[in-house]
Amino acid sequence: MKSHRFMATPAGKLLLVVDHGSLTAVYHEVHNPPPIPSAVGVPFAKISGPSGGVGETPTAANLLADAGTFDRAEDQFRAYFAGKRRTFSLPVQANGTDFQQRVWAAVLAIPYGETRSYKELAVRLGNPLMGRAIGTAIRVNPLAIIIPGHRVVSSSGAVTGYSAGAAVKRFLLDLEAGDSVRPAAWAQAADGSDGAPP
């Protein structure tokens, strides 16, 4: 059963979605297009009671697996925003068409701190004329930041076409370039020396 939890970050809130121990979606609070309700399920706290969620009663093992995935995801995002993590190591499941999966795999291969153009990805995938289709596939990527669509820019280098807007995309690119000021509370949280982020 899908459930979600919000997490505060320096780039705004993230909506994390977990289903049977796998992270299935990461959406920005202001995500365009917004996720449909069935893609996010119910708030995690609502299914942790004895009655379970709507239509399905989760087992204790499922609840424990989901809670563990939420906790690991939050830890890894805190480390990412503190500049201490470049990749994510989480159980994920991104549902999409074969073409979308190919595009997302190509995006996932873009190294931290680097960018590629839509045209470069199109050439890599075998058709230099499918830049627009690639942009559409990136736009519906269900795992924002983890599948780093923010690393894809226009051929001119312009920062456009991100699900949370150009300002968030620029923030993430600057963060990865080491140009962003990282709040001390986030750095401490990533070290495990202090509690949750503000």
pLDDT digits over 140-168, tens only?
A: 999 999 999 999 999 888 888 898 999 99
The string of pLDDT tens digits covering residues 32-63 is 888 988 899 999 876 554 444 444 566 778 88
60-76 burial: b if 16+ Cβ within 10 Å, else e: eebbebbbebbeebbeb
* pLDDT for 85: 95
For strands 152-153 and 22-28, give the pairing.
unpaired
190 confidence band (pLDDT: 50, 70, 90)? very low
pTM of the model: 0.83
> Is CATH 1.10.8.100 the right assignment for the domain spanning 98-177?
no
Q: Taking the CB of residue 59, how many other CB atoms lie within 10 A of it?
A: 10
- What is the SS3 assignment for 184? helix
Mean pLDDT of the chain: 86
Q: Cα–Cα distance between 173 and 10 in angstroms, integer?
A: 13
Q: What is the mean pLDDT of residues 71-93?
A: 96
Q: What is the pLDDT of residues 84-126, one digit of tens each?
A: 999 999 999 999 999 999 999 999 999 999 999 999 999 999 9
